[in-house]
Homo-oligomer: A and B are copies of this chain.
Amino acid sequence: MEKAKQKRLEARGWRVGSAGTFLKLSPEEVALVEMKVNLSQALRARREARGLSQLTLAKRLRSSQSRVAKMEAADRTVSIDLLVRGLVILGAKPRDIARALGRETGAAA
């Protein structure tokens, strides 16, 4: 798993190990979290590539800046659905979302 990603997860209370599960997360949960993180990173990348602020994106999503911040932080309270909606609004096609979702992000097995 990528270092930066791991740090972001741990800062949020997740327990993720460097080369697998560190503690307490089942393999299923790890997979879920990784997908969410991948989507959140894709969201931020797309937003920034378009030079949009979180606030502008929030308006297009009919949401709020704070929620967009949480989306990009892969907050526990953010659903995959919301992340996907955000990506779609930023012009991502299902293929793009699939690519982001399945992205291999780390060296660890």
Counting chain A residues whose Cβ lies within 8 A of the other chain, the interface size class is: 20 to 34
Known contacts A94-B38, A102-B94: does B84 contact A32 (CB below 8 Å)?
A: yes
Complex interface residues of chain A between 78 and 109 (CB less than 8 A to chain B): 79-81, 84-85, 88-89, 93-95, 97-99, 101-103
Q: Is A19 in the interface zone, CB < 8 Å from B?
A: no
* CB pairs A–B below 8 angstroms (16 shown): A28-B89, A32-B84, A32-B85, A32-B88, A34-B94, A35-B84, A35-B97, A79-B80, A79-B81, A80-B81, A94-B102, A95-B102, A97-B101, A98-B99, A98-B101, A98-B102
Which residues of A come within 8 Å of B, CB atoms?
A: 28, 31-32, 34-35, 38, 79-81, 84-85, 88-89, 93-95, 97-99, 101-103
